């Protein structure tokens, strides 16, 4: 006698890590994924929230780097701090030692909560995804890339000075081989927008098919 089929087993949430240099188009790719129902967790947005006026992280930053980075409203002068840390690896490491533990704890909590709710797919957009150890928990890691002239033009289009843009690009250069080694897919955003979006949709469909 055939046993009743019962409910099908629950499909595990697909967890995608989005990595890549500044200006490569990670947020654009994340937006397309969100349009397809993927839950997006933006580590940069979480960092801004953790570094809001009055937070423990912001207090620790002032204690380490000084009151000269405090604006009149009590907020952190992120632009000036960015100029400092991207020009000085030791200062960047000091800032990351303050921010990363708080971000990691928050990301882990968000991932647990989302997984309990059972979304079909979730994407973590984080520059330090690999270095912070989150990539090993992802089903796929997508490296978002673009040609250097395109990257520079995008940063200049955001109102960044050429000196600041080049400084930030150079600061991320050591991460390139780390990202390439961790990536399970590489998506270039150099081409026409509709073609890149189509490639992202196809990559998502293929990744979801593996989860079934």
* Residue 183: per-residue pLDDT: 96
Residue whose entry in the numeric block shows the structure tokens 């200062």: 91
* Residue 5: per-residue pLDDT: 41
Residue whose entry in the numeric block shows the structure tokens 């990351």: 96
Closest CA to 127 of 199, 200, 57, 23: 23
**Residue 8, domain member (yes or no):** no
* Residue 11: per-residue pLDDT: 56
**Residue 2, domain member (yes or no):** no
The proportion of the chain whose per-residue pLDDT surpasses 70, expressed as a percent, equals 92
CATH number at residue 21: 3.40.50.300
pLDDT tens digit sequence for 76-107: 999 899 889 988 989 999 998 998 888 888 87
**Residue 9, domain member (yes or no):** no
pLDDT at 211 over 70: yes
CA atoms of 122 and 200, how far apart (whole Å): 14
Could you tell me which residue, 7 or 175, shows the higher pLDDT?
175
3-state secondary structure of 34: helix
* Residue 26: per-residue pLDDT: 94
The least confident of 117-121, 124-128, 154-158 is 117-121
**Residue 201, domain member (yes or no):** yes
**Residue 184, domain member (yes or no):** yes
**Residue 6, domain member (yes or no):** no
Number of structural domains the chain divides into: 1
Neighbours of 151 (CB within 10 A): 23
CA angle 136, 138, 142 (to 5 degrees): 105
Sign of CA pseudo-dihedral 139, 49, 38, 23: negative
- What element of type H or E holds 14? strand 14-19
pLDDT tens digit sequence for 25-79: 999 999 999 999 999 988 878 888 889 999 999 999 999 999 999 999 999 999 8
Where does the pLDDT of residue 114 fall: very low under 50, low under 70, confident under 90, or very high at 90 and above?
low
188 phi/psi in degrees, rounded to 5: -90, 135
**Residue 24, domain member (yes or no):** yes
| Displacement of CA 41 from its chain's centroid (Å) | 8
Show the domain range for 56.
14-211
Q: Which two tokens stand for residue 52?
A: 């809001």
**Residue 3, domain member (yes or no):** no
Q: Which two tokens stand for residue 211?
A: 């989860």
Where does the pLDDT of residue 3 fall: very low under 50, low under 70, confident under 90, or very high at 90 and above?
very low
Its pTM stands at 0.76
Q: What's the mean pLDDT in 135-141?
A: 89
């Amino acid at each position: 006698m055939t046993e009743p089929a019962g409910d099908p087993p629950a499909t595990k949430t697909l967890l995608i890590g989005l990595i890549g240099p500044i200006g490569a188009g990670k947020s654009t790719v994340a937006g397309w994924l969100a349009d397809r129902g993927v839950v997006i967790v933006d580590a940069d947005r979480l960092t801004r929230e953790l570094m809001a006026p009055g937070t423990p992280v912001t207090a620790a930053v002032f204690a380490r780097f000084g009151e000269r980075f405090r604006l009149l409203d009590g907020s952190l002068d992120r632009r000036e701090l960015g100029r400092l840390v991207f020009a000085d690896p030791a200062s960047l490491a000091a800032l990351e030692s303050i921010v990363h533990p708080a971000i990691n704890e928050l990301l882990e909590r968000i991932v647990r909560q989302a997984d309990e709710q059972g979304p079909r797919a979730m994407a973590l957009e984080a520059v330090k995804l690999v270095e912070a150890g989150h990539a090993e928990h992802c089903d796929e890691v997508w490296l978002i890339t673009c040609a250097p002239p395109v990257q520079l033009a995008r940063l200049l289009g955001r109102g960044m000075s050429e000196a600041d843009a080049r400084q930030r690009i150079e600061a991320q250069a050591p991460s390139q081989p780390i990202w390439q080694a961790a990536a399970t897919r590489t998506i270039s955003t150099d081409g026409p927008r509709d073609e890149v979006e189509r490639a992202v949709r196809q990559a998502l469909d293929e990744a979801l098919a593996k989860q079934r």
